[in-house]
Amino acid sequence: MITLHHYLILSGILFSIGALGVLIRRNAIVIFMCVELMLNAVNLTFIAFSRYLGNIDGQIFVFFVMTVAAAEAAVGLALMIAFYKNRESIDVEDMNIMKL
């Protein structure tokens, strides 16, 4: 029997891997993909809870998360293109204009 815990543990593992990717990668697009991964881990949690609590609201939330992700993808990628145009790179190490 698959319990809620199975899904939640899987979701936690995926989330941790996504966080790890955000922390260690230098390529902004890869970091972006890792963020998407984290979002999906959360989506999984929502749907799992929705199923086990018999409430559809969680799935509606997933729907909104997807919308936000889509908007984020559009704007984030546009930002990267703009940055690439200036710096010929999307390496986050180059995004250091705040440094002294």
Partner 1 sequence: MPEILFFTLVAAVAILSSILVVAMRNPINCALSLIMTFFCLATLYVMLDAPFMAAVQVIVYAGAIMVLIVFVIMLLNMRTETSKNYVHGVLVSCIVAVLTLFVISGFLKKSPLTGEPGLMTTDLVDKVGHTELIGRAMFSDFLLPFEITSILLLVAIVGSVILAKRKL
Partner 2 sequence: MFDNVWLIPLLPLIGFLVNGLFGKKIKNEAVIGGIGTLAIFGSFLVSCGILIQMIGTSPEHRVFEKVIFPWIHSGNFKADMAFLVDPLSVVMIMVVTGVGSLIHLYSIGYMHGEEGFYRFFAYLNLFCMSMLLLVLGNNLLVMFIGWEGVGLCSYLLIGYYFHKKSAGDAAKKAFVMNRVGDFGFLVGLFTLYWWLGSNQNIWTINFMELKQASHLLPYGGVVTVATLCFFVGATGKSAQIPLFTWLPDAMEGPTPVSALIHAATMVTAGVYMIGRMSFIFIKSPDTMMVIAVVGAATAIFAATIGTAQNDIKRVLAYSTVSQLGFMFLAMGTGAFAAGIFHLMTHAFFKACLFLGSGSVIHAMHYALHHAHSHDDAQDMRNMGGLRKAMPITFITFLVSTIAIAGIPGFSGFFSKDEILWQAFSNPYHGGLNMILWGIGAVAACFTAFYMFRLVFMTFYGDCRIQPKAKSHLHESPLVITIPLMVLGFLAAVGGYIGLPKLIGELFGGIPNYFELWLDPVFELAQEYGHTYAQVGGHHNVALEWGLMGGSVVIALVGITIAFTMYIKNTELPGKFTSTFPALHRAVYNKWYIDELYDFLFVNPCKAFGNFLWKGFDVLVVDGIVNGVAAVVKGWSGAFRYTATGYVHNYAFVMAAGTMAILGYYIFR
Catalog residues that contact partner 1 under the rule CB under 8 A.
Answer: 1-2, 4-10, 12-21, 23-27, 29-30, 32-34, 36-37, 40, 43-44, 47-48, 50-51, 53-57, 59-60, 62-64, 66-75, 77-82, 84-85, 90, 92-93
54 near 77, Cβ under 8 Å? no
Q: What is the dihedral of CA 24, 25, 29, 35, to 10 degrees?
A: -20
- Identify which of residues 85 and 99 has a Cβ nearer to partner 1 in the complex: 85
- Identify which of residues 86 and 100 has a Cβ nearer to partner 1 in the complex: 86
Chain-centre distance for alpha carbon 19: 9
Sign of CA dihedral 71, 76, 30, 88: positive
- Identify which of residues 22 and 69 has a Cβ nearer to partner 2 in the complex: 22
